[in-house]
Amino acid sequence: MTTVNLLEFDLDGLAAFCEKLGEKRFRATQLFRWIHQRGASDFAQMTDLAKSLREKLATTARVEALPVITQHESTDGTIKWLFDVGDGNAVEAVFIPEGDRGTLCVSSQAGCAVGCRFCSTGHQGFSRNLRTGEITAQLWFAEHFLRQHLKRDDRVISNVVMMGMGEPLQNYSALVPSLRTMLDDNAYGLSRRRVTVSTSGVVPMIDRLGADCPVALAVSLHAPNDPLRDDLVPLNRKYPIAELLEACQRYLAHAPRDFITFEYCMLDGVNDQPEHAQQLVELVRSTGISCKFNLIPFNPFPASGLLRSPQPRVLAFAKALSDAGIVTTVRKTRGDDIDAACGQLAGDVKDRTHAAERMAQRRTVVLHPVRATASKVSPAPPVTQGH
Ligand code: SAH
Ligand code: SF4
C-alpha cells in the first residue's frame, strides 16, 4: 500500500488528513510538532500520540526526506546539499551562517523555464516543479541535520530565501503550503519578514502571494529598461517593468516589510554603466516605489559568455544609487569555493525544454563596456572565479 509523505502538508492539510483517519485537529498539531519541531520521522517515537493513532499512521503515512547525493562544506561555513528528486533530477539547497543568523536558500523547481542569460539554472532548462513535500524536505532535513552537526538544541535556521533553483512563483500551488509550514509556530515559526520569495516577476502571482501568504519579496530586476531586461530576463516580454513595478506597489499593501528588495546582478559592460544607474534612479523616483537595491556581483560560469563587473564599477554604481537616496547593499559572495553562490546552483536537470538551443539562438548582449572617456571600445578584463 502506498503511504502519504506528511511533509506534503501544512497544518491545515495535515488536519484534513488526520480527520480522514478519524482524528481531531489537536492530534494533527501534535504530529506536526513532532515532525517539524523535533525532526521525528518514526511514529513509534511519538509517545504522546495514542497507540491506535501511531498504528494507523504506520500503515498510511511516512515522513520522508530527500536522498542526499552530495554535501559540500565551504571554508566559510556555507554548506551545500545536492538532493535526489528522482528520474535523474537533482536540486540544491545552501545553508549560509552569518553571525547569529542562519539562512537556508531553497529550490522550488528542477531547473527553470524562465531562462535568464546570466543564470546557470536557466541554462539547464526545465524538468518539473517540485512538490510541496520536496520544498519542505529541504528545510526539514537541513534544520535537523544542522542541530546535530553544530551540536545545538535551539533553532539553527532563522531565515529562508527562495533563491535556489527555479522560479518559485511558477510553482505557486506547491510553494504556498510550504511557506505556511515555514511560518507556522507549530513548525519552524519563522517570521514573515524572514522568509523571502525571490521572483523574476510573475506579475499575477505576486498579487496572489500578497493575498494568500505575504512574506518578504525580492524582485530580480537586473535592468533599468525593457529592451535590456527583455534580453536578460525573457519573462519581461510578458510582464514588462512598468507592470512589474505596479504589482510591487500593490504587494506593499500586504507585505511584512515596507519595501521591496530589487536584486540587480552586475554584468560587465551590460547593465553596470552610469547611465543604467541613472535610469534606475529615474524609475524609482517616477514610480515612488519604496525599495532597496541589492547588487549581486555576477558569479560567472562558462556557458554564459558574461563577465563579472569589476569591483570599482560595482561600488560606483552603488554610490550613484545611494547618493540618490536609495538604500543599496552589495551582496557578499559566499560559498564560492563550493559553487554555492547565487546563480551557480545547477543540480542535475533532465531538460525538457531544449534550453541550450534556445540560449544559443538568442541575441547576444553587449559584452564590452564603452569606457566613459574612450572613443574606442576596450575589451573587459578577464574575471576569475572567486575572490
Ligand atoms: N528565480 C528566482 C529565484 C532564484 S535566483 C529569481 O530569479 O529571482 C536567485 C537570485 O540569484 C536572483 O536574483 C537571480 O537573478 C540571481 N542570479 C542568478 N544567476 C546569477 C549569477 N550567475 N550570478 C549572480 N546572481 C545570479
Ligand atoms: Fe530562473 Fe531565477 Fe535563474 Fe532566471 S534567475 S533562470 S528566473 S532561477
The response to whether residue 197 sits with its C-beta less than 6 Å from ligand 2 reads no
Q: What is the pLDDT along the chain (387 residues), one digit of tens a residue?
A: 799 999 999 999 999 999 999 999 999 999 999 999 999 999 999 999 999 999 999 999 999 999 999 999 999 999 999 999 999 999 999 999 999 999 999 999 999 999 999 999 999 999 999 999 999 999 999 999 999 999 999 999 999 999 999 999 999 999 999 999 999 999 999 999 999 999 999 999 999 999 999 999 999 999 999 999 999 999 999 999 999 999 999 999 999 899 999 999 999 999 999 999 999 999 999 999 999 999 999 999 888 999 999 999 999 999 999 999 999 999 887 777 777 666 666 667 777 777 766 666 654 444 333 333 333 333 333 332 232
Give the Cα separation of 298 and 278 in Å (integer): 20
Q: Is the CB of 121 under 6 A from ligand 2?
A: yes
Nearest CA to ligand 2 atom 6: 122
- Cβ of 168 closer than 6 Å to ligand 2, yes or no, is no
360 closest CA partner among 117, 126, 128:
117
288 vs 151, 227, 239, 245, 275, CA distance in Å? 47, 22, 19, 10, 19
Q: Which protein residue's CA is at the shortest distance from atom 24 of ligand 1? A: 298
Site residues for ligand 1, CB cut-off 6 Å:
118-119, 163, 167, 198-200, 220, 263, 265, 296, 298-299, 342-343
Task: List, in order, residues 6 or more apart from 222 with CB less than 8 Å away.
Answer: 116, 118, 229, 232, 233, 263, 264, 265, 271
Q: Is 92 a catalytic residue?
A: yes
Q: Which residues of 68-107 are buried (b: 16+ CB within 10 A; e: fewer)?
A: eeeebebebebbbbbbbbeeebbbbbbbbbeeeebbbbbb
Mind giving me the DSSP string for 335-375? -GGGT-STT----B---SS-HHHHHHHSPPPP-S---SS-S
| Cβ(314)–Cβ(297) below 8 Å | yes
Cα-based angle 162, 264, 90 (whole degrees, multiple of 5): 35
With beta carbons less than 8 A apart as the criterion, state whether 272 and 367 touch: no
User: Residue 122: CB within 6 Å of ligand 2?
Assistant: yes
Q: Write the residue with the smallest CA distance to atom 1 of ligand 1.
A: 167
- Dig out the grid coordinates for 125 from the structure: 532548462
- For residue 183, the one-letter residue type is L
The SS3 assignment for 284 reads helix
Q: What's the rounded Cα separation, in Å, for the pair 195 and 179?
A: 8
Predicted TM-score of the model (pTM): 0.91
Ligand closest to 304 (CA) is: 1
Secondary structure of 72-118 in the HEC alphabet?
EECCCCCEEEEEEEECCEEEEEEEEEECCEEEEECCCEEECCCCCCC
The answer to whether residue 105 is catalytic is no
Given a contact cutoff of 8 angstroms between Cβ atoms, the answer to whether 347 and 89 are in contact is yes
Q: Ligand 1 pocket test: which of 105, 263, 344 has the largest number of ligand atoms within 8 Å of its C-beta? A: 263
